[in-house]
Chains A and B, each alone.
Chain A
Amino acid sequence: MTVASALSRRDLVRAAAQRSLTRRRITGRLAQALCAVAAVASVAPLVALLYYTISRGAQVLSWSFLVNAPTPPGIPGGGISTAITGSAEIVGLALVIAIPIALLAALFLFERSGRLAAALRFSADVLAGVPSIIIGIFAYALLVLPLHAFSNLAAAFALAVLMLPIMIRADEEAMRTIALDLWEAGIALGARRGRVARSVVLRGALPDLVTGNLLAIARAVGETAPLLFTLATPVAAMTLLIYTDGTQAFPIAQETAWGTALVLLAFVLLLSVAAKIAAWRISRRAR
C-alpha cells in the first residue's frame, strides 16, 4: 500500500467515523430529549391529581380537621382523627407482618435456586395480580368470620397479603443486583449464612430494599376494597372514609373525602422521606 493511499484511507475512515459520531450524537440527543419528555409525562399525572385534590380538599383542611372526631354531614366541627390513627395503626401492623416475611422469602429466593424457588417466585407474581377485593374477601373469610368480629388485625392482614408479592419481588431483585458477588464472596470465605445475609446482603441492598418496600407500602395504604370487608366503620381508616364520603351526595362529605386524600398523600410522602433518610443514614454509618 502506498503512503498516499494509506493516508487517504485514513482520511476516509476518519470521515466515516466523524459522520457516524455526528449521527450517533444526534440520535443520542434525541433519545435523551425523549427520555426527558417521558419523565415529564410521568410527573404530569401526579401534578394534575395533586392540583385537583388540593382544589377540592383544601377548603376543609385545618388543624381541627386533623384532630377532631368525625361528625355526620350537616354537623359542623367534624374531622378525621379516628381515620388517621386507624390507618396508622393498620398500616403499622401490616408492616410488622409483611416486612419480615417478605425479607425472609426474598432471601430464600436469592440464596436458593431450583424448582421450589421458581415456584415461589411464580406464585408471588401471580399473587401480585389478584384484585384487592378478592384479598379483602379472603381476609374476611379467614379472620372476620371465625371470630365474628371486624378488627384492625384483619385489615392489617389483608394489606400485608397485598404487599407481600411486591415486596418479595422487589427485595429479591435488589439483593440480586447489588449483592450477588459479595454474597458469594462471603459464603466462600466461610462466614455464616445468616451473618452474610444480615451484614452483606441486607445492609448492602438497604436503599433499594427501602425503595421497593415503599412502593408496596404506598400501594397498600391507598387500597380501599380490603378494608371494606374487615373494618367495622368507614371512620376507622382514611381510604375507607374517602370511598364512603367521596361517593355521597353532600358537598361537605365530598370535600372531606378530598381533604382526607390530601392527608393520605402527605402521610405517604412523610413515610417515604423518613424511610429514605433512615436507610441512607444506616448505610453511611456502616462504613
Chain B
Amino acid sequence: MGYDRILEDLLGREEFLVVGQKVVRTDALDKCLGRARFTADYVPENTMVVKVARSTQPHALISGIDTGPALKVPGVYKVLTGRDVPGENQIGYALHDQPLLNDEKVHYVGDPIALICAKDESSAVEALDALKVDYEPLPAILDIDTSLKPGAVFVHKDGNIAVETRIRKGDIDAGFRDSDVEVEETYWSPYQEHMYLETEAAYAIPDDSGKVTVIGCMQSPFLVREKVAHILGWKLNQVRVIQALTGGAFGGKDDMGPIVCAKAALAAVKLGRPAALVYDRDESAACSPKRFPARIRYRSGASSDGRMTAVEVDITLECGAYANRAPFWLWRQTAHAAGPYQVDNAWIDGRAVYTNKVYGGSFRAFGDLALHFAAESQMERLAHELGMDPVDFRLRNVLREGGRTTCDQLLDHSVGMEECLEKVAEASGWGSRKPLREGTRARGFGVGCAYHGISTSRSTPDWSAASVILNQDGSITYRTGICELGQGSPFGHAKIVSEILGAPLESIRIERPDTDSTLNAKPTHGSRGLMLGGTAAADAAAKLRERMVGVATEMLECDVKLVELRDGFAYSRDSPSDRVSFPELAEELYIRGIPPASYGFYASPQRFYDPETGLGVNYSVYTFAASVVEVEVDKETGQVEVLRVWPAMDVGKAIDPLMIEGQIEGAVSQGMGIALMEDLVVEGGVVLNPNFKDYIVPSAMDTPDIAETIIVEKPYKHSVFGAKGVGEPAIISVVPAITNAIHDATGLWFDRIPVTAERMHRALRGVVE
C-alpha cells in the first residue's frame, strides 16, 4: 500500500479530519489532574525496597564481598550478588561486557555490586553502609589517550577498543588536491546528563506460578522482557513487562529500563515478594549512562567557488566503563560525518574506547550532536576562509534530491534541507542582520544545519506492529509497543487510526504497552515511534476499515466506493442522512463473524551496507533541520545568552503540529543546555555534580524567544501520510548555530562545549586552554 497516499487512495478525501490539526492529546487531562500514574506511584506501602550497592573505586578487582554486617541490620531481608543470578549475569547491550552485578571486577565509580533487599529505605541505606567490599585497586584509565596508549591496562579482557568504523568513499587525496582552502580542527563534546524529572524506577511482582510482572520506566518493553528473562534464566513468556507512563526519557530510559527492571525482578523472584527499586537523583545523575563524550578531528577541503571537495574525519568516542550503544552511536556519527552536504570524497575512521568512568548511552540525537558540532563548525570556518556568507556557502553544498550522503546513500526523494535553510534565513532576516562586536555586550547570529537518519542503523531490519480492536459498543482499543514518554507518539498513532477509521479520537483508548498482549513495535528511539509505529497503526486500521466498509456496504445497500466512515458513523456519500452508527456496525461485524480486530505490520524497505567501505543504504530516510540563533555575549563577565531561535524542520508530513513544536522547543532547550551550561564534572572517575544544584539545566528564565517553527513537508513514500521522525533533529542544529553565533559576536572560535561564562571569559582575554 502506498502509505503516503492513504488520504487520497484509501480514504478518497482531500482534507484531513484530525491528522495535521491541533488537537488536545488524550492523556493531557489526567496529567493535569495529577491522576496520571508513573512507576513509583504504583508501589504500595510496605513494599520491599531494593537499593544498589555500588563501587567506590574506578577500577578494581573485588577480592571479597562480606554481606554479614549488612544482613545483621534490622529490616534487611537479603543481599544479592552476582552468584545469586539464576540465568546469565550479563546485561550488555551490544557487547558481552556488562555484568548485572559485578562480583569479580568493577569498572567505574558507581558500578553495581550487590542488591540490598530490605523492609524500608532506612534499613536499606544502613545495610549499604555496613556492606563490606574488599577491593584490589587497578590503575584507573581516566581519559581516551591513556586508554589508547600501548601497554595500557585493559578495562575489559579484549582490549580497550570496543568497536571501530570506517568509510572510504571516492578518492580522498584527489579531493584535497582539488581544494583551494583547507581547515583542520579538533572538537570536543562532553557528557550530557538527561536529568529527566522522573528518576529510574521499576516495580516487580512475582506470582506463584513461575512468572514475574515488572512495571517500569522504559522505551522498549520487549528489550526489557528479553533482558529480564535472560537474567532469570526463564522463557520470554514467563516475564510480563508493562511500560508505565514515563516522566521523560530522551534515550536514557531505553538503556536503563532493562537494567532497573532486571534488578527489581531478580529481587522479587529471589525473595518471592514484590520489590520496588527507585533511583535517587544523585544516583541517577552519577551512575546512569550519559551522552558519549567525543573527540572529533575534522579536516575539510573546499574549492574557491565554494564547493566541498573532501572531508577526513577521525572520531574517538569515549565509552566509559561499558560499550553499551557505542557501536550504533559511532556508526551513526560515521555515516553522517560529512553533514547534510554533498561531499564526494570522504575518509572516516572511528573508534570507541573504554575508560573507567560512567559509561555512555542513548541520548537524543545519538552521536549526531557531537558530529554536527564538529561538521557545522568546519562549514563555518570554511565559509570564513572563503569570504562567503555562511548560509550561501551551505546552500551551495546541501544535499538535494538525487544527492548522495556521506555513506553514498542515494536520496531519491524527501529531501527538505534547502527549503529549511532558506526559510530560516528569511525568517530571521539573515540577509540584513547586524552583528555587534563593539561595546560590553556583543551580539551575533549563527546558523546550523543537520540531518538525522530515521530508523535503526545500518542494515538492521526495521519494522513495527500494532493492533486495533473495534469493541461491540463502537469504542476502539488500540495497542502499540511504542511508549509514551512525553513525546506523544502513541497519540499520533491514535490520530492516524482515527483518521483512517473515521472514529472520534475520544472513542479510542490507547492501552499501556504490555508484553502479554501488545505486539512488539521495536524500541521507542531513533525518532522512529511515529514513523514506523504509526505506519503499523495505519496498516492495522486499514485492514479493519476494509471489513467495516464491507459490512457497511451491505447494511446501507450502496456501492462500496460510496461508503464514508466519519465521526463514528458509516454512510453513503450519496445519502448521508442514512447512516449507521459504529456501535451498530460493530455489532454486525461480531454477529457475522467478521474479525473486529486486526494486527498491523510494517517493514521498512530493506537496506544494505558494506562494512568494508561503510557505504550503502544506512537509514530509511533522513529528517532535515536548520536553525538560526541570535546570541548576546557580556564581554566583561563572559556570560552568553541566547536571545532568539528560528527553527525549521522537514518532517515529511506533520501529523500533529502542536507536538512537533513541543519537540522542537524542548530540543532547543536541551541543545542550549549542552552548548552553554551543562557541564558534568568528573574527577578521578567521580562525578562531582550529580544534582540539579550543580549540574545546570535551563530554567524558564533561560528559555529564549523561539520563533514559530517552520514546518517543511517533503513526504516520505514509505510511511503513513509521508511522516518522518521529529524528536531528535532539532537538538542537533541548534548547538552549532549557537557556537557559530558566538563567533559572529566575538570573533572567537570554540572547539569545545559547553561555552560556559568562565570559558568565554578566558577566551576573551586570550588565555589558551
**Does A associate with B in a complex?**
no
Binding site for A on B (CB under 8 A): none
